[in-house]
Each structure stands twice: as C-alpha cells, then as structure tokens.
Amino acid sequence: MSSEPTKHVATYTAEQPTEISSILSGGYHHPLLRTWQNERQLTKSSFIYPLFLSDDPEEETVIESLPKQKRWGVNKVVPYVRSLVAKGLKAVILFGVPMAEGVKDELATAADDPNGPVIVTIKALKAEFPDLFVICDVCLCEYTSHGHCGILRDDGSIIREQSVRRLAAVAVNYARAGANCVAPSDMVDGRILAIKRGLLDAGLAHRTMLMSYSAKFAGNLYGPFRDAAGSAPSFGDRKCYQLPTGGRGLARRALARDLAEGADAIIVKPSTFYLDIVSDAKEICRDVPLCTYQVSGEYAMLYAAAEKGVVDLKTIAFEAAYGCLRAGATLIISYFTPEFLEWLDEL
C-alpha cells in the first residue's frame, strides 16, 4: 500500500506550464475590466456631429451618397437637433450649402451672408440650445464659383494673402453671430494667424475657440461630402493645398506651425487611414484638445461594408472610434454621432 497522500486536483505543481507574466486574461475577463483597459473613454461628449445646411428654410433632403444624412433648412434642423440634444448631443459642426442659383462667385461672398444658412442657423441653434457647442467649418469651397478653397489667380493657384484675409473675415462673422468655435478646413498657409488676429481685433478671441484642421490630407475620401455640400472643384484638384498622403513630415510641420499661430485645438483628417498622424499630433500638440474627423468616405465605406455583410455596423463603428482614441484623439467628428448617442446608452 502506498503511503503517498492523494493529490488534490487544484493543487499547484511544479509542472505548471506557463510563466506568471504570460497570463494577461485575468485583466480583462469581465466587461467592466475591459473598459478599465481603455486609456481614453468614449463618451457622448467625445462626439461632434456634422450638419449640412441649405438656404431653403424648409428643406429636408436625403443625401444619396451619405447614408442617413440629410441637407437641412433652418426650420427643419432645429427640431432634429432638439431630438439629439435630448439624447445627449453636446456639439455640432455646421457646413453651409447654398442652393440658390447665382450666389457663388470668385470671392465666396455668400459664405458670411447674414441671411445665409450658416449665420441664420448659428443664431437659431444658440437661441434654442444655449448649451450646445456650435462649431462652424470655415472654408470658401462651398461658396466659390470654381469650388476651390481659396481665391485664385488666373493660373488656378491660390492667392494666399487675399484668401486668408477673406477666411478671417468669414470666421469673425461666424463668431460674431454666436459660434462657439471656428474650424478652418481650407489648408491655406497662414490662416490660423490671420483668423486669430481677426478674432482679437474684433474682441471675440476670449469666447471663440479656434480649432484648426491642421493635418488634412488630399485623397479619395471626401466624395460623399462634396456631393452633400456641392463643393467639388470645377477643375483640377486640391493637391496644392491639402497635404500629400505620404507627407508625414509635412503634417508634423503643419501641426507645429498651427499651434504656434494660435490654434486652441487640432483636427487630423481623415481618421482611420491616418492614425500615425493622430499619434504624432498627440505628441506635438499634447497641450490642446485633439480631434479626428471620420470623413464622409470612411463613413460610407463602413456603411457599404455592413450592407454587404462584411462587418457589423455597430461593432465596426466602435472599433473605428477606439482606434482614434488609442492613437491619441479625445474628440471625433462623426456621421455616426446620432447612433452613438443611443449605443452609448446600451452599454
């Protein structure tokens, strides 16, 4: 008879095959622990919702290439925003879409028309929802006859000085109308300094955030937006002012430059294809809020993939958003914002 004690199954033995340091799953086996692993949390205040505003106050038109998004007149957008504010919407970014014939010209005069869609909507939204943070995209392409983002010479190149002066005037007029933040997306050199000076001279700098689209890349992901906003260039492309896809060093210089010119916050755009740039921005612009724009093409691609059954829409939308957070952003401009206001309640 053996005098060996019976081994208990739960007893540790020297034969345990793994090193203690190789066991990671204890740290994320519970749903709460999985959220504890996030360096940055996704909340309703992480999201900024883009709105396309028509000059017809009664308009409510579906945009074919941008699923679930509409072009809104002021009388229709206010009730829509009310329903989103009730779900926790904190911030919007406005894009004007002048639809009337003959309003576009070489100087983008319609951009800050006091009766134009952006200024009218800023006033309506701020009157109804004083706590809603209203950002205005500042650019000329929606209002120029040629669809470029600045004022052009005969050869099609941008006249820098005149363009930044016009952009600054537009930004100041949006701020004067009550916008909480102006976000220039034109990519003309020196516009951050010009806008900051304009805001200071107008006595508006202390109550207007200047959020720069500092690293905005030229590429193939803005198509549905240009449909929505009617802002495709009538000739050429934007490659001489938006950044070249491979230009990581240029982006780093643009980020540092805009910070030095007085940007209060930074946008990197597009998002998923440019997460290395987001991570660079987190390092270079570590002291200001960092936002990334999940642009129309990215959104439409995820939608199309979900419709094809390649991905699940909600899961992939969260995955894309966490990619942005991991890279260093805390703010996301996204067409998924209305969905996230519901999805974040379901967690």
Q: How far is the CB of 186 from ligand PBG (least distance, A)?
A: 6
The residue from 90, 123, 216, 239 that is catalytic is: 216
Under the criterion CB under 6 A, does residue 49 sit at the interface with ligand PBG? Answer: no
Distance CA 94, CA 182 (A): 10
* DSSP for 278-315, written as a single string: HHHHHHHTTTS-EEEEE-HHHHHHHHHHHHTTSS-HHH
Point out which span in 41-49, 165-173, 202-210, 224-232 binds ligand PBG (CB under 6 A): 224-232
Partner that binds at residue 222, options ligand PBG, Zn ion, none, CB closer than 5 to 8 Å by kind: ligand PBG
Q: How far is the CB of 15 from ligand PBG (least distance, A)?
A: 58
* DSSP letter assigned to residue 112: G
Q: How far is the CB of 334 from ligand PBG (least distance, A)?
A: 9
Q: How far is the CB of 71 from ligand PBG (least distance, A)?
A: 14
Under the criterion CB under 5 A, does residue 136 sit at the interface with Zn ion? Answer: no
Tell me which residue of 61, 52, 67, 74 sits closest to 231, measured CA to CA: 52
Q: Which is nearer to Zn ion, 139 or 291 (CB)?
A: 139
Q: Which is nearer to Zn ion, 187 or 290 (CB)?
A: 187
Under the criterion CB under 6 A, does residue 300 sit at the interface with ligand PBG? Answer: no
Distance CA 329, CA 291 (A): 5
Beta-ladder partners of 243? 217
Q: Which is nearer to ligand PBG, 159 or 200 (CB)?
A: 159
Sole binder of Zn ion in the list 48, 77, 139, 333 (CB under 5 A): 139
Beta-ladder partners of 213? 267
Is-catalytic flag, 216?
Answer: yes
- Burial class for 117, CB neighbours closer than 10 Å (0-12, 13-18, 19+): buried
Q: How far is the CB of 297 from ligand PBG (least distance, A)?
A: 6
Given a contact cutoff of 8 angstroms between Cβ atoms, the answer to whether 42 and 319 are in contact is no
Point out which span in 106-114, 117-125, 150-158, 223-231 binds ligand PBG (CB under 6 A): 223-231
Is-catalytic flag, 269?
Answer: yes
Two structure tokens written together for 39: 């360096």
Point out which span in 29-37, 135-143, 168-176, 275-283 binds ligand PBG (CB under 6 A): 135-143
Beta-ladder partners of 62? 70
Q: Which distant-in-sequence residues (6+ apart) come within 8 Å of 285 by Cβ?
A: 214, 255, 259, 263, 266
User: Which of the residues are catalytic?
Assistant: 216, 269
Which residues of the chain form contacts with ligand PBG (CB under 6 A)?
137, 139, 141, 149, 185-186, 222, 225-226, 231, 295-296
